[in-house]
A and B are shown apart, each in its own frame.
Chain A
């Protein structure tokens, strides 16, 4: 039972990070129907940027804010310089271009930060765990859960109650009408990239805390978050977050309970298991949990 509870907490912590990453995909997709394959690289840039700021002597909280804003600006720059000229082209071409943006960011990350893994310093004692009866919970897990919950909560408040949030929703629902209403659609799309890159940076920082490290492999975590985006439904932001948390829990349970059952076949099986669940799920609900069933007109 203790084991089960511990797995649940670390699953939720991992899931919270997946939810952050998946939200980044979903926000950009809602805004412009572009699926951003470069998302994973913002995790790497965020984590290494944070370490660089900390080494420069910036206090922890300020460094986190600075990293999120800096990575967000990088995302906005990518949108403005590469994706804006592609508006009106087939979406397929734009999606392919994001793959190459990812490759460029990955290689430049190698140039800028080198390829050695680095530990992420934390203001609290990263090796310590918090005891709740029998169950011990890493401080880092708590940080991941609260950090992600705080960011996601802030996002929902912004999107529901501010003028900017309304403009974002209007752009997502119909770009042309939004333009006709005087909403600066281009700037809104830039802002979606800013937000999604900032969330990814936060995810990267949270993910590279002990027991993991910041390394160039962080970007693959975005690949692992795909099932959350798909199961939640591409159009649904809330569904994506729910599915992200579920994905983390499923992955950790699979690691704890399914892997040992399968013997040799079970090594690293938890990395594949969410995909199998996703494929089985899509057979029954091809638009995900909360995705919109496409209504086609000729």
Chain B
């Protein structure tokens, strides 16, 4: 099955949404995005907030694993570094959150640039295990300095708007209080919804731009074969290190956003191997190597998890497990089935649906 229509010129090749169908899908998604916070309950609003954070994180992993082909089990380490940077900057140094987020990204990106050179010498699983080592080391360091990170008991994350410390509200800062805008009462979840939505859209935009730029194409050349890439004039070192840098920057931002949204963070859970694996699930579920896959995989993963818990609680035997285990079990079965029948993931499903309607009433 072709993954896109025949391209006859460079302008066509560079188009971000080549089909009418893509545009229709985009506008429907955009409308839902705007209208959602006005109709949704606070439970679903929180879930969608988490989904946006997952979109940022899975876009980050998609650039590293999907485009550049570097398997990483240490994604949770970058998320954790981002989250704790935002938390510590807010709690101890009273830095406003809009400044702490990019700092978190830059710090995570520096760590990523240290790990990047390992990718020049190691390949495949050797690299995956080194990144796993990075994750364990990060966990250990975060655990070893409880005076900064709060250790096992965790740390609350204030959201300051300015540089001064704000008293009251448990020290959480002015932004976390509901405020009045045009006579409407706007809660913290609503306010952060729009911030997270902008960040998620921005990172998806960045991802699709990287994909159609020189950098993205050189990453994909390296993914297929770095020897062949260097023969045709692509520098694999630059592509790999750039992938690590960009990916860990976005992962740091996602971690920081997670800390802001949760308002209280601990080290394990969530920042352990299972989080890394969740992000790998998202990109494989969505379809490796596409921006659509990163976004759709993250959204479906996060939005389906509470549904899976609901299904699990109605099945015999499985309802003996905890909620998290139920959703893990059902999700794992689902992902195995999807990967056995549809190796391109949701992207493959989307292509099939599109083909069906394009060629209707004929079979493709």
Contact = CB atoms under 8 A, between A and B. Distances in A.
Interface stretch (A125-133, A142-150, A265-273): A265-273
A52 interface: no
A279 B115 CA distance: 10
A287 to B, nearest CB: 8
Interface residues of A, number: 45
A97 interface: yes
A78 B208 CA distance: 38
In the complex, which range does the number of interface residues on chain B fall in? Answer: 35 or more
Contacts of A271: 136, 140
Contacts of B328: 103, 107
B132 interface: yes
Interface string A273-289: 00110110011001110
A225 to B, nearest CB: 11
Given A104-B332, A275-B133, A279-B130, A96 B325 contact: no
A99 B336 contact: no
Given A110-B321, A223-B132, A99 B277 contact: yes
Contact of B284 (A96, A111, A279, A287): A96
Q: Which of A100, A229, A298 has the most CB of B within 10 A?
A: A100
B320 interface: yes
A234 B284 contact: no
B258 to A, nearest CB: 22
A267 to B, nearest CB: 7
Interface in B228-274: 228, 231, 273
Nearest to A288: B126
A35 interface: yes
Interface string B299-330: 00000000000000000011011000110110
A294 interface: yes
A223 B121 CA distance: 23
Contact of A234 (B126, B132, B281): B126
Given A89-B343, A223-B132, A108 B123 contact: no
A162 interface: no
A-B interface, 6 closest residue pairs, ranked by CB to CB distance from nearest:
A275-B133, A107-B329, A100-B332, A103-B332, A286-B121, A265-B144
